[in-house]
Structure 1
Amino acid sequence: MPTSETHPDAGVQAVPDADANAVEGLPPPSAREPLSRERIVEAAIAFIDEHGLPGLTMRRLGNELGVEAMALYRYVPGKEDLLDAVVEELIEGMRRDVDVLDAPRDGWQDFLIRLAHGVRRVALEHPKAFPLVASRPTEAPWLRPPLRSLAWVEVFLSGLLAEGFTEEAAVASYRAYTSVLLGNLLLEVSNHGADVGPLDVLDDMSGDDAALRDYPQVRRLRSALSEDRAAAEFEESLEALLDRMTLLRNEHLDG
């Protein structure tokens, strides 16, 4: 279990990262196992975890599994279907998370905090694959990442409605919740090597003092600016989001 540490530059105590132990990925399946759709999807996730999404091809995946690429098409029609299956498996992983609930048990805030950390654990376990959750087509075009399935949106809405949210407040909360969660997690996985497009330009410039010569404030605060505060920022954003959702709930109840 991660422990609190004091950053030498910040002078404040960092928030323990309860999800940090999820960064390590799963080992690839044994080559002795029979080929199946499930095994192919697991191997694809393991390949992305190790090599990154841009390097994934059916031929390379076949090599990892010890078969010709054509053998894979019996189970997955093509790469696009494979990527959709990867997203399904990542999201389904939350159902195997014992801390994530299907319905509120100790109030709606506890329910949503558990769900948020469940999504974050998936992102940290598979940071290079997680951007697929934001980019792949969904079951319905209006579904918002990172809750990419009708089943999870149903869980979310049902949970809030059962806790006294009006339909309008539940929908508004769904929009706010998904926006904050996705934004924070895409930024975080980009620091773990994920290919997230423009976010990949993030750089602490620690080895380029010349580039900072004309920027004294940036140079002076460089250490603090480059500090990894992802865990603390996630908690702070989540807390602010829950406060906003409380206001939404009360406004619609008062109306």
Structure 2
Amino acid sequence: MAKERIDADADVAAGLAPPSTRQKLDRERILHQAIAFIDDHGLPGLTMRRLGDQLGVEAMALYRYVAGKEELLDGVVEVIVGDMEHDSDVLRMPREGWQDFLQRLAHGVRRVALAHPRAFPLVASRPPEAPWLRPPLRSLDWVESFLAGLVAEGFDDQTAVACYRAFSSFLLGHLLLEVASLGADLGPLDVLEEDAEVRGLDSFPTVRRLRRDLSLDTSVVEFEEALEQLLDRMALLRMEQGAR
């Protein structure tokens, strides 16, 4: 008892909370505290030692729940993307047509980005569950919902994949610019491992069926098409100015 009292006094003297007032340490609490740290201080300043300081423990105590910083950052992405599960406005499948479905999904991703602007770049940079999936719709759950939803609305496989690519490019480009204006540090981004082995696709039949199409490199075509669409939009704006 005397030793425990001495240890407790030492903790208080070191600025740590008394044992009786500390919260139990677990993986969920660590990940949420990591997000809070990034929200307050930015991603570059996050270290296991600093996170341990915020939790009132030694950094080594964190390794019982996360193997290291790489796993910590992967967990942060899981939590951020998982926030859409609790967004009642985001649908898993279309109810009022595919346009409503995609609008709800786009606004849901944007709400996640604006809730954690300094952490959101991790969604664009952490290796995804499958290297041929694109951020910010990078989890197998959400990609399956996206593709299956469009197929259910009458899109064929190739068109659904093309829409997934265009939708992802639009969201990523716009939201990275938006969070950068709010103080997010955008780089350097991690390099994705293209040859990474993917497991567990049995639960995602649409993704499994379209894996080959999803893995094709169509970046040149997409860039040209997006540029043409932009120029068409600019031409339309120029025509509309004459009517004002």
**Which secondary structure does the structure 1 equivalent of 2:85 belong to?**
helix
Deviation of 1:132 after TM superposition, in Å, equals 0.2
Query: For residues 43 and 89 of structure 1, what CA distance do their matches in structure 2 show?
Result: 11
From 82, 85, 95, the equivalent of 1:95 is: 85
Residue identity in the other structure for 2:88: V
Residue identity in the other structure for 1:88: E
Deviation of 1:148 after TM superposition, in Å, equals 1.5
Identify the residue that residue 130 of structure 2 maps to in structure 1: 140
Larger Rg: 2
Identify the residue that residue 110 of structure 1 maps to in structure 2: 100
- The count of residues paired between Structure 1 and Structure 2 equals 172
Identify the residue that residue 38 of structure 2 maps to in structure 1: 48
1:10-32 superposed Cα distances (whole Å, 9 cap, x missing partner)? xxxxxxxxxxxxxxxxxxxxx73
TM-score for both structures, normalised by structure 1: 0.65
Deviation of 1:33 after TM superposition, in Å, equals 1.8
Identify the residue that residue 247 of structure 1 maps to in structure 2: none
1:31-85 superposed Cα distances (whole Å, 9 cap, x missing partner)? 7320000000000000000000000000000000000000000000000000000
Identify the residue that residue 131 of structure 1 maps to in structure 2: 121
Identity %: 73
From 154, 159, 165, the equivalent of 2:144 is: 154
Query: For residues 175 and 147 of structure 1, what CA distance do their matches in structure 2 show?
Result: 10
Identify the residue that residue 164 of structure 1 maps to in structure 2: 154
Query: For residues 164 and 34 of structure 1, what CA distance do their matches in structure 2 show?
Result: 50
Residue identity in the other structure for 1:130: F
More helix by share: 2
**Which secondary structure does the structure 2 equivalent of 1:197 belong to?**
coil
Q: Which runs of 5+ in 2 are unaligned?
A: 1-20, 189-225, 231-244
User: Mapping of 1:1-255 within 5 angstroms?
Assistant: 32-197=22-187
Query: For residues 174 and 52 of structure 1, what CA distance do their matches in structure 2 show?
Result: 30
1:65-108 superposed Cα distances (whole Å, 9 cap, x missing partner)? 00000000000000000000000110000011000001001000
Query: For residues 45 and 75 of structure 1, what CA distance do their matches in structure 2 show?
Result: 16
Residue identity in the other structure for 1:40: I
| Runs of 4+ more than 4 Å apart | none
Residue identity in the other structure for 1:100: V
Deviation of 1:144 after TM superposition, in Å, equals 0.1
TM-score for both structures, normalised by structure 2: 0.68
Query: For residues 197 and 34 of structure 1, what CA distance do their matches in structure 2 show?
Result: 34
CA RMSD of aligned residues (A): 1.8
Query: For residues 92 and 170 of structure 2, what CA distance do their matches in structure 1 show?
Result: 21
Residue identity in the other structure for 1:127: P
Deviation of 1:142 after TM superposition, in Å, equals 0.3
Residue identity in the other structure for 1:195: D
